[in-house]
Copies of this chain bind each other. A is one copy, B any other.
């Protein structure tokens, strides 16, 4: 259990956008545009070509407005300043990392979301989100290609005595080829997130649609459900028991998916992946259930060691990734060891990103072509 405590610290303290903003003397280019994940018609927050973010919040009678994103001064984050029109405005002290970031606004000591931004489930609540345009953003852009569907399902769960929610991505060909069956990837979110994270902030459906349109992958189904991780508090990792979630996933969700979707319902055609704490869950469950999954992926979520793999013939792929601002040496060393032990292992390090969704979007793009190869 000590191992998990150590992993939790890595999960929760890795540098995200907060600590990577670059303070600099270069001048700010005034080409700010609304973030692509703003609410309809909202002008703020904005982002410029250098990756600076600018916020504007109306609160005419407030004494203090601070945004949690960015490298700020004494107050942390980005302090906003009040204009004569009652709007508070402020710009990050430097460029933010490319990709998606969560944030919130503190108004007179109360924590609220930015009324201009869409909300995304992270930190065990719906938070504001902002997109810093990335040099490689085409791979998760909405394009004029055939689109798969994302289905909300409610599956019966006897062990938790309720109907539980999951989202299922089906590729474009699923609704066209009514007799074809597909492999399945079970894909987990991280701590503080839920089953909406991979399709909302992760853009899993657009990443898949684009890869399929380019002929880079064999179409497969992706299933995302809540990993029951959010009861874990700081330092409480040792008390986390995998069994309740493993039961939901293996004994309840998988049979429901196999009964209600045209899956290829066997071990060679079933993979599991997870980010951060979802990686820890993937690690434990794949090792506990070698006859259920054949392909494993940990995204910023720990490593496998060769000694852990009891029957190497049952493992077709191990994929381990992280951001360059995390601990890439650990990932690369682990994969080297797995390869030396005769396993099909692949590492990936996302350049200039931390423990955030841009790392995981890229990881999925790298992982998908490796899955279900034969």
Contact (Cβ within 8 A) B126 A39: yes
- Shortest Cβ distance from A234 into chain B, in angstroms? 16
Given known A115-B125, A142-B154, A149-B152, contact A110–B40 (CB-CB < 8 A): no
A126-B39, A178-B178 as given contacts; A109 in contact with B63, CB under 8 Å: no
State which residues 1-55 of A face B: CB under 8 Å.
39-42
A149 touches which one: B57, B111, B153, B176 (CB < 8 A)? B153
Would A40 and B125 count as touching, CB distance under 8 A? Answer: yes
Q: Which of A194-214 contact B (CB under 8 A)?
A: 199, 205
**Are A112 and B109 in contact (CB-based, < 8 A)?**
no
Task: Flag whether A260 is at the interface (Cβ < 8 A).
Answer: yes
B107 touches A107 (CB 8 A): yes
Q: Among residues 224 to 251 in chain A, which have CB atoms less than 8 Å away from a CB atom of chain B?
A: 230
Cβ–Cβ < 8 Å partners of A62 in chain B: 62, 107-110
Give the complex CA separation of A374 and B149 in angstroms: 30
CA gap between A259 and B172 in the complex, in Å: 12
Q: What chain B residues lie within 8 Å of A163 (beta carbons)?
A: 142, 144, 147
Contact yes or no, A110 B151, CB < 8 A: no
CB-CB under 8 A for A61 and B63, given A109-B86, A113-B113, A154-B147: yes
Question: Counting CB contacts under 8 A, is A119 at the interface?
Answer: yes
Complex Cα gap A112–B152 (Å): 28
Distance from A332 Cβ to chain B, minimum over Cβ atoms (Å): 37
Q: Which A residues form the contact surface with B (CB < 8 A)?
A: 39-42, 57-64, 86, 107-113, 115, 118-119, 124-126, 142, 144, 147, 149-156, 162-163, 168, 175-176, 178, 199, 205, 230, 259-262
What are 29 inter-chain pairs, A to B, with CB distance below 8 A?
A39-B125, A39-B126, A40-B124, A40-B230, A58-B111, A59-B109, A60-B110, A61-B108, A61-B109, A62-B110, A63-B108, A107-B108, A111-B115, A112-B113, A113-B113, A113-B115, A119-B119, A119-B126, A142-B162, A144-B163, A147-B153, A147-B163, A149-B151, A149-B153, A150-B151, A151-B152, A152-B199, A152-B205, A178-B262
